[in-house]
Structure formats: C-alpha cells, structure tokens
Structure 1
Amino acid sequence: MMEEECCFSSSDSFKEAEVGTPLSAVAEAFEELAKSLEGSSEDLRLHPFIFACSHVSELFGCLGLGFKFAEIEYVSKVNKLLQASKAFYTLSGIIDHDVRNGTVRKSGSHSRNLRRVRLGLDLIKALFEHFLSSKECSPKEAASNAYAQVCAPYHTWPVRKAVAAGMCTLPTREQLLLKLKDIDQSVEREMKRYIIASGPIIEYIDNLYMSRDICLDW
C-alpha cells in the first residue's frame, strides 16, 4: 500500500464529546470507532482512532501518580500519531510505510508509537475487567494485575520495580469514583461499554501487524 495523504486540514480539531463523564466519553468514542469496523472492508482511519484515544488520557490522569508513567508514555505517543495523521490516512498506511523502510521496531517510528498506544488501550481494558471482577477489588489491586498482564512483559526489571512502588499511591475505590465524577452503578455500565468496544479495536491493530508477519513480542 502506498503512503496516503491525510484528508484532514490543519484547522481540523477533535469534536467535543457531548457526554457527562470521562468514562462515558471514552465509551462513546470507542463504540463509534468499533461501529466503523462493522461490515466494512476499509482500513481504520487514523484521525477517528486518535480522537477516541485522546479520551483515554483523562482516565490515566484519574489514577494519580501511580499511573503517571503510563499517562506520560501514552499521551506522548498519541500526540506523535496525531502529527503522523497529517501524512497518513489509515493505521495500515503507517505500518506499511515502516515495513517498506525497515523501521517498524525502530524507536520513534509510527508503528512503534501505535504499538505503545495499543498497549495503553489494553491496559485500561484489563484494569476495568479486574475492577469489575469483584466489589471488593481496589483500584490498586486492579491496576497491579492489569499492569502485570499487559505491560510488565515488555518492561525492564527497574521499570517494573518503580511501577510497583507507585501502585501504593493509587486512589481508593471511593476516591476514584469521585475523580471519575461517577457512581458505582454507572461506572460498571460505562466500563463494560469500553471493554466491549475496545476489544475489536485492539484485535484489529494486532491483526495489522500479524498479517505483515510482524511478531508482537515487543
């Protein structure tokens, strides 16, 4: 696939979500993104993907200092993909560009940035799944399990050690609900919406790499 020029002008900006809480905003954005994949043979467009991903950074912020490492990493990569959207129209376009240039795994490449954003989406998904697994599950427990499941395999021992120490600063369940401007009943509903909607997006990104014989162990 040849490199594609983005159809969005520099004056384009993300549409503000007409929803009341951070959770409902991210759930709605990913539901819209998932709908665009249903029954379509077209590649996922980069700009709508970035729009949906932009909402997730606020969720990282609600987790406080314990997840500051993830917030900084995630926001940085999303911003770099936003810059890439000036030259590329689809997710497959940026991967194919790096495949042709042998830069898929190179630090700072678009494909590597996309891979890191994908890990961020999966981290939030896993955190929500653990959080909803039991009324007794604290944000610290949910976050620790999610990190061990999604990110730890790709981090060095010093990074894993630092993250473990930071987990002690995560908010309580009540504090998290306050940060999310939500209550238990609606939190469960919105988290489930994100889990369901983000699954196909994460799978789609993985398939983009695997269809080009790119291993996902990085």
Structure 2
Amino acid sequence: MAAGEQKPLRRIADAFDSLAATVNLRSVPIEAAHFSDACSRVSILFSCLGIAFKFAEMDYVSKVEDLREASKSISTLQSMLELDIKGNCVRQGGSHSRNLLRVKRGIDMVKVLFEEILSANVNSLKDPASAAYSKVFAPHHGWAIRKAVAAGMYALPSRSQLLKKLNEDDESARIEMQKYITSSKSVIGYVEELFLSRELGIDW
C-alpha cells in the first residue's frame, strides 16, 4: 500500500489544500473533476464514524459519484449550475446542482466536526459529532432521521480509535485537521457563492 493510501486524513487535507489554492486564484473556476476527486476522499471519514453517519455516507457517496460522472462532460462547477438553470431543474431531485449542494454540506459537516474535536480535546466524539450534526445536517432532516442519528451517536468510535483507523497520532491529526478546516472553508465559500450570486439560495 502506498504511503498516501495509509494516511487518508493527509490525502483529504492535501486534496482540499489544492482546491483552495484554485479558489484563491479567483480568476480560475473550479474544475468539476478536481472537486469531485477531492470530495471522494472524504467518504472514508463517514465510514469511520460508523452507524450514526451511515445515512450521510450513503447519501454523500452517491452524490459525489453523480458529480464525478457529470465531470466527464461538464468542465466546471459553474457550467454545471448554468446548465441546470437553463434546463429549469436546479432544485429537482437528482439534479447536479442539488447534489452539489448536498456534497457541500458533507464537507461542511466534516469541517465543523474537526473544529469541535480540536476545541473539545476529549476522547469521546459524541459531543463534537452531535454539535456538527446539529449545525449542518439537522435543520434539513425530519424527526425520524434526527432520532436515528441521536441513537447512533452512542456507537461512535472514540477519538483515539478514530485516529488509529486514520493511521495518525494526536499531533499529526491536529495538523491535518487544521489544514482541512482552513482549506475547506474557502471551498465551501466558493460553492455557496455560486448559488447565492445566482439568487438560488442554499437552504433547500
């Protein structure tokens, strides 16, 4: 196994660092393939969190796969949105725009989770994961899903178990999580601006 594959957290942080560098150029649009490739690396984190985030893993993976397929014929995220606007299907279930918004929430959830983990500095992930879910996903979920997630929180791995799965120690994980927090913030802002600048909203 290659060194990069043994360090999934590092691969995630590096991928988003590369995306953020493109965002910071401002004049260069994000390529759909570049975006979907970076997002696909995040999937392992949802699987590491177990049953509480199984719904998120399945939903996220399918939507990233849709964006990856779309990227074979649509070059940029901007073009993806414009095509759906022309087709009057932005908010339709299964549209690339809708899937892009859902994927954005997934990377946002991980960002908030990392922020909570770093600030709490405790071994239990229950409070950090609950806070991240409440901030990002809960407002868009019905009662049944919220209740199922709350029950699953008791089956979360501990922080030390999560780091072992990711093949990191506390110090290296802190560095990579912080790198992801910083870079994903730029990427999330970019995606949100794509929607907001076209008056499409992001709370649907």
Using the size of structure 2 for normalisation, the TM-score is: 0.95
Q: 2:122 aligns with which of 136, 159, 162?
A: 136
**In 2, are the aligned partners of 1:131 and 1:138 still within 8 Å (CA)?**
no
| Alpha-carbon separation, structure 1, partners of 2:28 and 2:163 | 38
CA RMSD, 1 decimal: 1.4
Alignment of 1:38-49 (within 5 A): 38-49=24-35
Pairwise CA distance, 1:207: 0.2
Letter in 1 for 2:203: D
Pairwise CA distance, 1:42: 2.2
Structure 1 residues 178 and 137: alpha-carbon distance in aligned structure 2, compared to 1, 3 A threshold: closer
Pairwise CA distance, 1:65: 1.6
Which SS does the other structure have where 1:38 is aligned? Answer: helix
Q: Which residue of structure 1 aligns with residue 173 of structure 2?
A: 187
How many residues end up aligned between the 2 structures?
203
Which SS does the other structure have where 2:74 is aligned? Answer: coil
| Alpha-carbon separation, structure 1, partners of 2:62 and 2:80 | 17
Alignment of 1:145-160 (within 5 A): 145-160=131-146
Letter in 1 for 2:80: I
Identity across the alignment (%): 48
Q: Which residue of structure 2 aligns with residue 5 of structure 1?
A: none
Letter in 2 for 1:123: M
Q: Which residue of structure 2 aligns with residue 52 of structure 1?
A: 38
Which SS does the other structure have where 1:78 is aligned? Answer: helix
Moved more, 175-184 or 103-112: 175-184
Mark the runs of 5 or more structure 2 residues left unpaired by the alignment. Answer: none
Q: Which residue of structure 2 aligns with residue 75 of structure 1?
A: 61
Asked whether 1:201 is paired with 2:196, we answer no
Letter in 2 for 1:73: D
Q: 1:215 aligns with which of 186, 201, 204?
A: 201
| Alpha-carbon separation, structure 2, partners of 1:117 and 1:144 | 19
| Alpha-carbon separation, structure 2, partners of 1:95 and 1:194 | 25
Pairwise CA distance, 1:137: 5.8
Using the size of structure 1 for normalisation, the TM-score is: 0.89
Deviations 1:96-149 (A, max 9, x none): 111111111100000000001000000000000000112226212111100000
**In 1, are the aligned partners of 2:120 and 2:128 still within 8 Å (CA)?**
no
Q: Which residue of structure 2 aligns with residue 35 of structure 1?
A: 21
Structure 1 residues 151 and 123: alpha-carbon distance in aligned structure 2, compared to 1, 3 A threshold: same
Q: Which residue of structure 1 aligns with residue 150 of structure 2?
A: 164
Letter in 1 for 2:46: F
Pairwise CA distance, 1:17: 8.3
Moved more, 123-132 or 160-169: 160-169
Q: 1:173 aligns with which of 148, 154, 159?
A: 159
| Alpha-carbon separation, structure 1, partners of 2:103 and 2:35 | 11
| Alpha-carbon separation, structure 1, partners of 2:51 and 2:80 | 32
Deviations 1:1-59 (A, max 9, x none): xxxxxxxxxxxxxxx88464111010000101111122241211100111111110011
| Alpha-carbon separation, structure 2, partners of 1:161 and 1:62 | 20
Pairwise CA distance, 1:71: 0.6
Q: 2:108 aligns with which of 122, 128, 135?
A: 122
Letter in 1 for 2:13: A
Letter in 1 for 2:175: R
| Alpha-carbon separation, structure 2, partners of 1:74 and 1:39 | 27
